A and B are shown apart, each in its own frame.
Chain A
Amino acid sequence: MPTLTNRAKPVDRRPMTMMEKMYLPAIAKGMGITLKHFFTKKVTVQYPEEKRPFSPVFRGLHILNRDEEGRENCTACGLCAVACPAEAITMEAAERKEGEEHLYREEKYAAKYEINMLRCIFCGLCEEACPKDAIYLSETFAPSNYKRETFIYGKSDLLIPDPKKEPELYQQALGSRAKREGKKG
């Protein structure tokens, strides 16, 4: 049978030599290998204390963006929902009333916006589809939970903190990529 790779090795079936039968040298050799690994670089990370840096293209939990005046960018155009291959996004739109101009940037806004994180595959197509700069995938993981109910994210979970009222939380939510985005806009 032809081999798939040229790395296959035939099994050595010769009878053991005297040295091999003694068993102890092999033990010493094995311990030596173990000892050697004490001094090599560790591949694991002590997670809660130590965190890996995020890649610049990391796709984590979504945030709904606001503009610099704290108004919501989303106009419920439905392009994220139509782009979503997992059909995780749903929304209901409403018309902005007089006196709500400080809350929503355009005359139409998403009254309800929901992402089912159980369905979401974090592909980032919603971010690509958005014409209003409104949805971004952030640098946060979805927190684990015993209950499925907690994975239905509504607007209160997704909206970025108001840059005017809570500037620190806003900067934190922007994450390390804020500088890059600032340059772009």
Chain B
Amino acid sequence: MSEEKKLFKVTIDNITVDVEPGTSILNAARMIGGEVAPPAMCYYSKLKNSGGKCRTCLVEVAAGSTADPRPMPKLVASCRTNVMDGMIVKNITSDRVLDARAGVTEFLLLNHPLDCPICDQAGECHLQDLSYEHGKEGTRFEYQKRTFKKHDLGEYIQLHMTRCILCYRCVFVADQLTEKRVHGVLDRGDHSEIATYIEKALHNDFIGNVIDVCPVGALTDRTFRFKNRVWFTKPVDAHRNCPKCSGEAQLWMRGDEVFRVTARKDEWGEVKDASDGRPGWICNDCRFEKKDIKDWIIEGPTKVNRHSVISQGHYVGVKPQKDLLPEVMGGRGPKLLLDIHKVSEVNRPEIELSKIDGPAHSDDFKNLNK
């Protein structure tokens, strides 16, 4: 056995943890978990070199280390600052941090269109969460928001450049997961945008993962586009035998229809590792092509945080009462006064929204008699 590594003692919001040298403050805070962990829009633990761009994870370092207990003069980005022994960090206990974070949120929202009612990411959007928890109510920006011409990113991925906050996560995915990156960030400052460099479509088996890493609704699944709201679908863990990826995914279902397939996420909204330890990225085949319940082996419903909007209407752990009516009626069933499916226009069995390739259009509803 090699000699034991010396662990660093770091105190974050008055909670002390022992972490290995070389850990960032953000990851040390995530070990404590809960509200102590600073929010992160650009840092992604599974992607090398990510972080340092969005500034939402700013924290105050009240004491640098035991050897040099002077405080750091400015707030530091916790995803890019490593811990020192005896470091004292203030996150939510510091007013400076909360104020700076509200400012950063306001900056991120300057050019964000706030079209959440249309956006498919609403309900699982990190920027939405951030602005609810750390943002201010109003904005002081009174100019035109920047807009972009629409780029087409192939048949599977929809790019809404106006919603982008330039976190670079998708660029890192293309760089580190796929062999050849064909998209990147062009131009500078306010004009900078994610582009596929002369509208080259993204052909790669793992490029669909850019949808999962995108913290906002800039990159969304075209096969799920406008099909349903996230909180009306039910997340289910499922797996299949996939020669390309781990095959462990999360299905977003409604009834027996599979509306969307994503990778499984952990509590920080990042893609979870598969059960055999491989990274949990899923391939395009699993994500976009397997929209049939027969393709998958269902493991069970995903545990959703009770405070998430996705858990609304999912009555977990409720035991249905015994239906006494057939007993009372001597075996006869109750007389139905209205069969809703005969009258209702929605959820028609002849229209399988999940089987339509792109978003539904007016023609898809036309051949209805009502």
Q: Enumerate chain A interface residues (CB-CB to B < 8 A).
A: 75-79, 81-82, 87, 90-95, 97, 100, 106-108, 111-112, 114, 116, 118, 131-132, 148-149, 152, 154-155
Residues of B within 8 A of A148 (CB): 337-338
Min C-beta distance of B365 to chain A, whole Å: 5
Q: CA A64 – CA B340 in complex, angstroms?
A: 22
Show 11 residue pairs from A and B whose CB-CB distance is below 8 angstroms, ordered by the A residue. A77-B116, A81-B232, A90-B346, A90-B347, A93-B227, A93-B360, A94-B362, A95-B226, A95-B360, A108-B118, A111-B364
Q: CA A107 – CA B119 in complex, angstroms?
A: 10
- Report yes or no: B226 in contact with A108, Cβ–Cβ below 8 A: yes
- Report yes or no: A131 in contact with B359, Cβ–Cβ below 8 A: no
Q: A78-B231, A93-B226, A148-B337 are in contact. Are A132 and B117 (CB under 8 A)?
A: yes
- Report yes or no: A114 in contact with B360, Cβ–Cβ below 8 A: no
Residues of A within 8 A of B347 (CB): 90, 92
- Report yes or no: A152 in contact with B340, Cβ–Cβ below 8 A: yes
- Report yes or no: A94 in contact with B346, Cβ–Cβ below 8 A: no
Min C-beta distance of B256 to chain A, whole Å: 17
Q: A75-B117, A77-B118, A152-B344 are in contact. Are A112 and B365 (CB under 8 A)?
A: yes
Residues of B within 8 A of A116 (CB): 340
Q: CA A82 – CA B360 in complex, angstroms?
A: 21
Of A87, A106, A152, most buried by chain B (CB within 10 Å of CB) is: A152
Q: CA A76 – CA B185 in complex, angstroms?
A: 32
Q: A152-B344, A154-B345 are in contact. Are A92 and B365 (CB under 8 A)?
A: yes
Which residue on chain B has the smallest CB distance to residue A83? B312
A112 is contacted by which of B226, B232, B346 (Cβ under 8 Å)? B346
Q: CA A79 – CA B118 in complex, angstroms?
A: 11
- Report yes or no: A82 in contact with B117, Cβ–Cβ below 8 A: no
Cβ of B225 < 8 Å from any Cβ of A?
Answer: yes
Residues of A within 8 A of B32 (CB): none
- Report yes or no: A95 in contact with B117, Cβ–Cβ below 8 A: no
- Report yes or no: A79 in contact with B337, Cβ–Cβ below 8 A: no
Min C-beta distance of A175 to chain B, whole Å: 26
Q: CA A82 – CA B353 in complex, angstroms?
A: 20
Which residue on chain B has the smallest CB distance to residue A118? B338
Residues of B within 8 A of A78 (CB): 228-229, 231-232
Q: CA A77 – CA B123 in complex, angstroms?
A: 11
Residues of B within 8 A of A118 (CB): 338
Residues of B within 8 A of A152 (CB): 340, 343-344
Extra inter-chain contacts (19) besides given A77-B117, A82-B309, CB under 8 Å: A75-B118, A77-B122, A82-B312, A87-B313, A90-B344, A92-B347, A94-B361, A94-B362, A95-B358, A95-B359, A95-B360, A108-B359, A111-B360, A111-B364, A112-B345, A112-B346, A112-B365, A114-B344, A154-B370
